[in-house]
Structure formats: structure tokens, C-alpha cells
Structure 1
């Protein structure tokens, strides 16, 4: 089971990334500093902090990975701006969404200011890192396209697991593969990709189940889950199967990477479950007893 020291390490890395991000925003976005700060800051920095945690655990050298971690947060911020436009969401992180605050025209354009900086930073790790980041960016964009179309009631020929792999797990996969590329740990990239992808899948399926349990089906993925498994008890069984599957994949990948990464996955999911409600907590507890 995870220890308090791992939590402290993660929080320290997140603070390091927050300070680094503030400096980089000043450096790379002087003409639009206010807007860039609003778009990029204020989130939990989960994906970028995960990149730093990978670096800390496997090499103790986070300096090479800080640009990668920041670039991942840039990509995530850019995607959220467009996601909120597509979803017509007026709020994000407890405040006005970017398009609501700065207007639709600025919101359409602004991600195109953010993304070139992200690619430039990733390029410091080489061509392979750029190709990997763009592959995952494409998947995330396709996933959001499918998610939006499902919400609009359009027919989309995609299975639930593929949808959440694209719309959510792709960025988590990049969060784990890109630092390994930057650190030259080629023998661990495959395990890193599996770990990140499975962690993202685990998060999204629990998030979707929480939406269904709370009668708040407001995403294409939660709606597709309902459509794919029509009865409520069937959904619970299916979700439990998926959670068990992803936790097993995380455990196996952690053995190849470092055991503490399994502790991190458990820590993350328990924290999420405590916020998501009893329905998610029960499923997580049942699966943990079997897997761990």
C-alpha cells in the first residue's frame, strides 16, 4: 500500500512544476501573458506531475523532464479550451471557461498559440518525442470529436474502451512515455506506455461510473457506457471487470518500472474515489482486495 512519503514527493513535484510553469509562461507568452496564465494555471497538474514522478523514481533527474511536463500541461490546457467550446460549457475549474471570459473568437485561436510552444519544448527530447506527442494529441482530438458527436445523438462506430483510450488515456500515456524518451530509457518505454494508458483508462471508467451513479450523464463516454450496457446492475459488473483489468495491467507494468508506481496508482484512485462517492469507493475496494 502507498506510503505518506510518496504523497509528499508527488506534492513537492507538483509544486516544482507549478513554479516552473509560471516562469515559462512569462518567457513564452509575453504578448498574451494574462490569457496564457488563465488558460494554463489553476489545474491539478496531474499529467505533468506524473511525468516528473516517473523521472524522479527512475533516474532522480527531473531537469530533463521539466520541459516535457510543462508541454503536456500546455497540450492539456489547449484541448480544454476547445473542449469547453464544443460542450458549450461556461465554467471550468470553478471559474468561467476561457471562451466565456475572453470570447469565442479568441478561444478558437488561442490553442494555436499554445501548441507551437508545446511542440518546441518536446523537440528538445528529439524527433521520436515529437512524433509520440503528436500521435497521442491526434488520438485525444479524435476522442473528443467522438465524445461530442455521441452527446449530440449522432451515430459513432466506436466501442466504449476505444473512446476512453483516445479521449483520456492517450494523454496519460504521453505523460509516461515522453519522460522515458527524454531520459533515454528505451527499454522501459513499452511498460511506461502501458502504465500511463491503463491509469488513464482506470480514471475515466470510474469517472463515467460516478456520473451514472449520480444521475449526471453529461459526457459522451458515460452516455456510451449506458448505451453499451443497458441495465444498471450490468454496468456495475462491467465497470468492476474493467477496473480489475486496468489495475492488473498497472500492476504488471509497475513490476517492470518500479513498485512505487503501483502505490501511486492506488493513491490516485483512492483520492479520486473519496471525492466521487460511495458507489466508486465500493468498486475500488472490492477490486483492490483481489488485485493487491
Structure 2
């Protein structure tokens, strides 16, 4: 099964898990905002949870709670980011705060975040404690995204983006009962997350006027003095090499090994294709 096919199948599964989660929310105001926040995601991170779990021999059903929690945390982080950045659109629609107000979105996000962490607690205290640390890293990354220096660019994107890539790969070690591999799986998530944000920032740098660049994209532009292509190409290749090196050391199933091998390219090319960029960097 290629990665596109696995993602399409997993997205349907995760969407159904999210619908079931929402059906259990009894307060109508919380339900309405939660439904909007959790709607229409690509489900990349939840898909990674299922993919690594399955590749390590775990039962797919055991990864469903982790995939759900990952998507809840990711969606809540985006809803809060939109408030901080004054972004009025998200995924081609109005941002949640632009419809429901800042206060309501913040309150509902404060409901969703501990709810997701409570779901993760099913995998045990170690999984929960690591998840809490990763969420803290995401918050630090958001600060560095706004106020950090260009010299800390890679650290910024590791914290703000890779932390929520580390989360599902880490949780897959618990759902597959391969806790002995947790450190390697965290590193895999780190490299995938850095690749993803490098390309995402690259897209902004080559499609937006430099005056409109913000956050880590602005840091990337300043770090490279606008010559983003060689830097991003080099860094993507470095992190892809490290990812593949770790992957080769893992006891993954032969049926999914090729799928895992192509995951970095799937993430990178997906962003480039979505932005209508061809033959620019790769």
C-alpha cells in the first residue's frame, strides 16, 4: 500500500473517530465550537499514529485513541494560533475565533486540550508525561515563532511543529507495545516535523512578498538573506537522511516499509503541490 492510499483510508477512519468523540459532548456550545475546530483537517498526524503502530505490529484499533488525541491537540493549537496571529481564515474558511469570538474559542480549547491528554493517559503515565512535555514544547515554539531570532530557526520549528509530529510517532510505541523503541520514534517524528515546516516556510518565502512574511517563515528568509532554495534543499535532505537511518534500524513490517520510506517526500511534495509549486526546489 502506498502512502497516499494509506492516508486516504486512515483519514476516513480518523474522521469517523472524531465524529464519535463529538457525539459524546453534551454541552451544545462546547459541541458547536469543537465541531468547527476539528472539522476538515488533513489528519496527517493521526495517520502517522496509525502507520507507525501498524508497521510495528500493533492492532490498529489500539492506535485510535492516540490518533484522536493527536488531532484534537493539533486542531486546538491551530485555533489558538489563529487568535494570536489575527488570521481570519483557516483551511479556506473563517477561523474559529472570527465566528465564535476569542473568548469562546479559548475556553473550548482549554476544554479540548486536557480532554486529549486524558485520552492519552490510557497508554500509561510515561506516555502521558512525555505528551505533556511535548505540549509544553509546542507552547515554547509558539513564543519563539513570534519573538525568536533567525539564528534559532531550526530549534523554533522543532519546538512549534515537530513536537506535534513527535507526539503520534511516540504514542505508536505504546499502542504497538514497543515502548523500547520510544526514543527512536520520537526522533523519527522530529525529523518529519522539521521537514514539513521547512517546506511550509519555503512555500511562504517563494509565494509571499517579504513584507508579509511572519514567524518562522520570516526567520528563514532573514537567515538565508532570501536565498531559501539551497538552504531548504540541503536541510530537507539532511533530515530525510537521518529519518531513513533510524527507520532502517526499526523492526517494521515489510508490507509497510516502502510506505514509511516515502513519507518524507509525501509530506514535502504535498505542500508544494497544494501551493501550485513545481520544479522549484526538488
Match in the other structure for 2:263: 264
Match in the other structure for 2:15: 18
RMSD between aligned alpha carbons?
A: 1.9
Query: Residue by residue, what CA displacement relative to the aligned partner does 1:186-245 show, whole Å, maximum 9, x if unpaired?
Result: 232222111111011001111111211123453310111122222x33x32221220111
Match in the other structure for 1:48: 46
> After TM superposition, which residue ranges in structure 1, 4 or more long, deviate above 4 angstroms?
none
- Segment drifting more, 183-192 vs 99-108: 183-192
Query: Residue by residue, what CA displacement relative to the aligned partner does 1:256-280 show, whole Å, maximum 9, x if unpaired?
Result: 233331122223322222223446x
- Segment drifting more, 97-106 vs 56-65: 56-65
CA distance in 1 between counterparts of 2:2 and 2:80 reads: 37
- How far the C-alpha of 1:20 sits from its partner, in A, is 0.9
CA distance in 2 between counterparts of 1:6 and 1:142 reads: 31
1:245 matched to 2:238: yes
Match in the other structure for 1:226: 221
CA distance in 1 between counterparts of 2:26 and 2:263 reads: 33
- How far the C-alpha of 1:164 sits from its partner, in A, is 0.4
- How far the C-alpha of 1:77 sits from its partner, in A, is 1.4
Match in the other structure for 1:187: 180
Q: Which runs of 5+ in 1 are unaligned?
A: 151-155, 285-292
| Alpha-carbon contact 2:120-2:127 (below 8 Å) kept | yes
Query: Residue by residue, what CA displacement relative to the aligned partner does 1:92-141 show, whole Å, maximum 9, x if unpaired?
Result: 11111111100121122111110121011000000011111111111111
Match in the other structure for 2:201: 208
Asked which structure has the greater RCO (Cα within 8 Å, sep 6+), the reply is 2
Match of 2:143 among 142, 145, 148: 145
| Alpha-carbon contact 1:147-1:163 (below 8 Å) kept | yes
CA distance in 1 between counterparts of 2:40 and 2:192 reads: 22
CA distance in 1 between counterparts of 2:2 and 2:174 reads: 27
| Alpha-carbon contact 1:51-1:69 (below 8 Å) kept | yes
The residue correspondences of 1:165-176 to structure 2 (distance < 5 A) are: 165-176=158-169
Match of 2:4 among 3, 7, 10: 7
Q: Which runs of 5+ in 2 are unaligned?
A: none
